[in-house]
Structure 1
């Protein structure tokens, strides 16, 4: 009886999202001890093709990426700018489904056992597939949690409950003009980290950031306290952006469009040479961002 009780307790601990076995939490704790901020890199599953995606993750991790967001292509990505929209549509046109995206996740997990791996997509995919069924498939594929830009905390009861049952993180988004009270609510519903949108509008690389971004980071950090890290994304594309966010107090930066832009611009001779050049560029880019976060 005692053994079964202990097993149930262990299962509850593993599902809480706060144990030492949690890859996201362990990563943030390790980086904090080193005085570093986390580099979170976003890739679209199946772009430029399914075979290349795992290699792209390999290159980003080799360059210093601490956490990977794997985007499951969706037909109406309302939070994404034209760069990610185009990549997502290309993946859909190539036949990438949520199931195929999870097959890519399995490959990434096998290659990187300790790498935190998040799914970034839209709630309709999970609702259509069924919460329990899809979450089970994600867990089996090695996914650690979700970022659903269209999921407000007010409607997230079933989502957060089911995710907790499966031991998976739920990362919610806050905007620069989110009130302090709502920031606290978002932080209380988030696990893994809270995602602060750095600018108004949709994703996409930009040249600089305004003081309101720095103020938003300060408010988010105050709301999160010591309970959860704050990651900042949208528009980050240069080492100086990374330094700006780290200097403002962000625990992590999230980079997506700038990575997709590099993949889209990849040039070279034959296909093998082109791929090699692209992967080398992505590794170098990630390394430049990571250096700015140390």
Structure 2
């Protein structure tokens, strides 16, 4: 089964640009607005949607995203709302939809049950930040059965052996994290991400996209020089929070302007 995520990355590459991957939490500020927000991204230059079901212990998220997910939970979000959101979004746009989720909610819900629900709703796959391929056998089997993409994370601290395992287990792309924990100077982050993407390529990664606190078009332009795409979250969530759908669309368009690659 052809990966819609890989196809979107290849289509961007054929147009001489990197892809823009946009993250939003599902259910913020309410379920319908979060659906409309995802469609707004798709209509304003985002190539792949990354939607996050709110979770009570979002250890890897920054403050802006944490506050949004806590608000969504307080408003009554339930994991099953993910399927309703994905179903309506995929009815309204052909942009592939990945769900980025911590592993415990999926495990509690039922791995096969969640995979079936996501596939039926039209989702493209899962980004799983807190589970490694060697611990994900049941998910790998479910994804192969349903045709969903598996996006695992790679970090600069990963050994070559682990990077090889991540590349072999991932489909769609490898989510490239420049640093773990608190971020430092931007130049250092770029250097770390660039080196990590190079290592992933050496291990055979067809697609690697970078998420490192990217917040403007210049950041996007820098990242797509050496990777397949730039992943943006906080800047989009902040735009939605502060200015609603109109501000979100403007921010997405501004970020998209950075995806064109300089001519060689």
TM-score (norm 2): 0.92
> Does structure 2 retain, via aligned residues, the 8 Å contact 1:48–1:91?
yes
Go from structure 1 to structure 2 and tell me whether the alpha carbon gap of 1:207 and 1:256 turns closer, same or farther (over 3 Å shift).
farther
* Alignment match, 2:214: 236
Structure 1 segments unaligned to the other structure (5+ residues): 1-13, 267-277
The alignment's C-alpha RMSD in Å is 1.7
- The structure whose Rg is larger is 1
* Alignment match, 1:250: 227
Q: 1:150 aligns with which of 123, 130, 134?
A: 130
* Alignment match, 1:79: 60
Cα deviation, 1:175-195, whole Å, max 9, x if unaligned, reads 122223321211100011100
Cα deviation, 1:227-277, whole Å, max 9, x if unaligned, reads x20010130101111111112x110111111111222222xxxxxxxxxxx
TM-score (norm 1): 0.83
Measured in 1, the distance between the counterparts of 2:53 and 2:167 equals 24
> Does structure 1 retain, via aligned residues, the 8 Å contact 2:6–2:207?
no
How many pairs are equivalent? 258
Q: 2:198 aligns with which of 210, 218, 225?
A: 218
Offset, 1:207: 7.5
* Alignment match, 2:240: 263
> Does structure 1 retain, via aligned residues, the 8 Å contact 2:176–2:193?
no
Go from structure 1 to structure 2 and tell me whether the alpha carbon gap of 1:132 and 1:242 turns closer, same or farther (over 3 Å shift).
same
Measured in 2, the distance between the counterparts of 1:280 and 1:224 equals 40
Cα deviation, 1:66-124, whole Å, max 9, x if unaligned, reads 00011011111121122211111111111011111221111101101x21101111111
Measured in 2, the distance between the counterparts of 1:261 and 1:207 equals 21
